[in-house]
Chains A and B, each alone.
Chain A
Amino acid sequence: MNESTYKSSREPLFRVVKRAERSGRQMLIFRLLAVLLSLVAGGLFILAIGANPLQVYRQILDGAFRSKLAFQGTVKLCIPLCISALGVTLAFKMKFWNIGGEGQIIMGGIFATYFALFHSDWNHWLLMLVCLLAGIVGGGLWGLLAAFCKVKWNTNETLLTLMLNYVALYLVTYLQNDPWRDPKANGFPKIASFDSNAILDRVLGVQAGWIVMLILVVAVWIYLKKSKQGYEIAVVGESQDTARYAGIRVKRVILRTMFLSGAIAGVCGMLQAVGTDATLSTGVAGGIGFTAIIVAWLCQLHPGMILVVSFLFSVLEKGSSVVQSQMGLSSDCAAVLQGIILFFILASEFFVRYSFVLRKKEKTPAPAAKKEAV
């Protein structure tokens, strides 16, 4: 007999209880404290490898803001991150674990690239509009595919969307190896750069995607907070039974929301291909779909906060590349710091909702004796 899996009769050292909701102000303090702690932890790590953390942090800020060009670069990084975070927000609000942002970005990019590549002779604005629509349809359908399997057969959406990411990724590899291969690239498998007519215009030195980003932030906020459909998403997310009881057609809401979620990611893919890269490569998403999930979660699915945090993450990203060239530390420190920050935030969430209760002192004669002594 193996008794070790069973508990002893003793009460555990501490237990977890739910607590009353903290006020908004308290929650903000908790989060700021978590960020502060994570910067300290990151600093200790930098210190451990023999660099000066303050210098690294200053270098990061400096690298992101030191010139107009650097700042434009930061904004350019912010666009795809913010947009795809908005995309997964819709799905997450519904508690549909869409890990497929990466694949939906890629599919949006593929669909948009088709028009940018083969119809570059169209009127510029018409072409841009068609590319945008293509991106929406591409990303949306890829999201819809997972939602369809979910409502039809209750397929695990986390795992399915994860797999679809890689199916989409290797589709790009296929396209650049065979049908869309640039014959002028001397045998190197890549897709040709787009014609200048098929490249998105710049506004204030950055691709026009930042305008789309700002519009989407407001649109998603209004959609979630003010529209009937947004309310339906929230109800389905809280409890599908309640939603059904209230007469909400749950399956329809899931399908519709996942299409929109994928579509927004598709817009991101379109902007990356047509706006930033001017071509389609396997790096079109480059992990943004995963980082977007972190951003969305960090912001409690709040669109306004997503804009802010995406920008801060972009500062980290851009600044880290400068740290690499200036201080000989890898730009991967951005990923490390992002990870640490989220670990601390995730832990702080706990203290917002729960608290520990320590084991009460056992009623042994000892305290009584103490009392007598007093």
Chain B
Amino acid sequence: MEMFMKFLVAAIVAGTPLLFGTVGEILSEKVGHLNLGVEGMMALGACAGFMVGYLTDNLVLALVAAFGAGLLGALIYGVLTVTFLANQNVTGLTLTIFGQGLSNFIGYFMLENSESGTLKLPAQITAQMADVHIPVLSDLPVVGPLLFQYNPFVYLAIAIALVCAYYLFRTKTGLNVQAIGENPGAADAASIQVNRWKYFNILLGGGICGLGGAYCSMIINGGVWLADSTGGLGWIAVALVIFAAWKPQMAIFGSFVFGGLRVLKYYVPSNVINIPIAFYDMLPFLITALVLVISSMRKSTSSRIPGSLGVNYFREER
């Protein structure tokens, strides 16, 4: 039982960066833009967040920097795909390669110029990122460790997901924005500002992905800079969007499930179920592939995919 508790906590901690990435990507896909640059935007956020945290020792500044870096990455993507009508797949992939490259490049540069040969976050910011401790609540048995003892990023991620769910499904703006993703021509005819809201969602999504990247570099690696800190999590986030059926509230559940899949191998006793470790790593992708295929088999549910996903909107071709 104690093992199971530990597993649940580990699943939530491992799922948090995925939650950031997934919510960011949902925002972008809801306006019809499949941004394969999640991994790149996360890498940019990882680098900016870590370096600013390292230099200023201030968590808020680090988060702002990570958000800003992800946003700038998304801006490149947005300008190219929304205004310049470039192919979304190619632009997104380029953003991934560029973002990872730039992140590692700057990381290497900082390492070369550091005195000790390693980059470690200073004490104050490490303390700010430590697991929260709320008097009384955190000390409750079972509920305490399960709900009230995470690092602040976890709560931030859940809050962002809930706000985005509210924005998309409960506000008029959000419904208009979804109309853009379904059919930009119709949305335009209904006098919705198509390009403006495309930019808004893509940029906001990029910023949120950047925060996820900061989680990777600042929390997962224990405050020490490592190259490739996002390690493919951005791609899992792209997968999770499908699993979550393009709903931020489902993404909360989905990312913790996928987080669980990522740490499952450490918690399953090998004398009970003995499958090769590699298959645990494969599971998130395999399950997503199956979800994708099965949901396309059942025509009714495949309509969850935003109708214009991957297709740029050019007004003269309505």
Contact = CB atoms under 8 A, between A and B. Distances in A.
Interface in A339-364: 339-340, 342-343, 346-347, 349-350, 353-354
Interface stretch (A206-214, A272-280, A286-294): A286-294
Interface string A316-330: 000000000000111
A155 B278 CA distance: 26
A338 B232 contact: no
A72 interface: no
Among A5, A49, A167, A178, find the residue whose CB has the most chain B CB atoms closer than 10 A: A5
Contacts of B232: 166
B98 interface: yes
Interface in A131-178: 149, 153-156, 158-160, 162-167, 170-171, 173-174, 177-178
B108 A293 contact: no
Interface in B262-294: 276-279, 281-282, 284-286, 288-289, 292-293
B9 interface: no
A195 interface: no
A17 interface: yes
A178 B98 contact: no
A2 B101 CA distance: 41
A128 interface: no
B95 interface: yes
A294 B297 contact: no
A170 B279 contact: yes
A149 B293 contact: yes
B250 interface: no
Given A2-B171, A153-B293, A347 B84 contact: yes
B76 interface: yes
Given A158-B34, A171-B278, A349 B84 contact: yes
Contacts of B297: 153
B85 A350 contact: yes
A154 B296 contact: yes
Given A156-B305, A339-B101, A170 B285 contact: yes
Nearest to A287: B97
Contacts of A163: 239, 285-286, 288-289, 292
Given A334-B101, A350-B84, A164 B89 contact: no
Contacts of A294: 90, 93-94, 97
B104 interface: yes
Contact of A330 (B90, B108, B191): B108
Interface in A9-68: 15-18, 49
Given A5-B177, A155-B293, A343-B76, A174 B276 contact: yes
Contacts of B66: none
A167 B282 contact: yes
A339 B92 CA distance: 10
Nearest to A334: B101
B192 interface: yes
B193 interface: yes
Interface string B88-115: 0111011111111110111111001000
Contacts of B282: 166-167, 170-171, 174
B102 A332 contact: yes
A2 B173 contact: yes
A90 B268 CA distance: 44
B119 to A, nearest CB: 14
Interface in B135-180: 171-173, 176-177
A346 B279 contact: no
Interface stretch (B218-226, B252-260, B309-317): B309-317
Among A171, A297, A330, find the residue whose CB has the most chain B CB atoms closer than 10 A: A330
B36 A99 contact: yes
B112 A328 contact: yes
A14 to B, nearest CB: 10
A130 B128 CA distance: 59
A350 to B, nearest CB: 4
Contact of A333 (B105, B112, B284): B105
A290 B96 contact: yes
A336 B97 CA distance: 7
B80 interface: yes
Contact of A160 (B173, B177, B193, B289): B289
A82 B47 CA distance: 31
A97 interface: yes
Nearest to B305: A156
Contacts of A174: 276, 278-279, 282
20 contacts: A99-B93, A165-B285, A166-B285, A170-B281, A170-B285, A171-B278, A173-B277, A290-B97, A294-B93, A329-B105, A330-B108, A333-B105, A334-B101, A335-B97, A335-B105, A343-B91, A343-B94, A346-B84, A346-B94, A347-B80
Interface of A: 1-2, 4-7, 15-18, 49, 97, 99, 149, 153-156, 158-160, 162-167, 170-171, 173-174, 177-178, 287, 290-291, 293-294, 297, 328-330, 332-336, 338-340, 342-343, 346-347, 349-350, 353-354
Given A333-B101, A342-B90, 11 more contacts: A97-B89, A153-B293, A153-B297, A155-B292, A156-B296, A166-B235, A290-B96, A294-B94, A332-B102, A335-B98, A349-B84
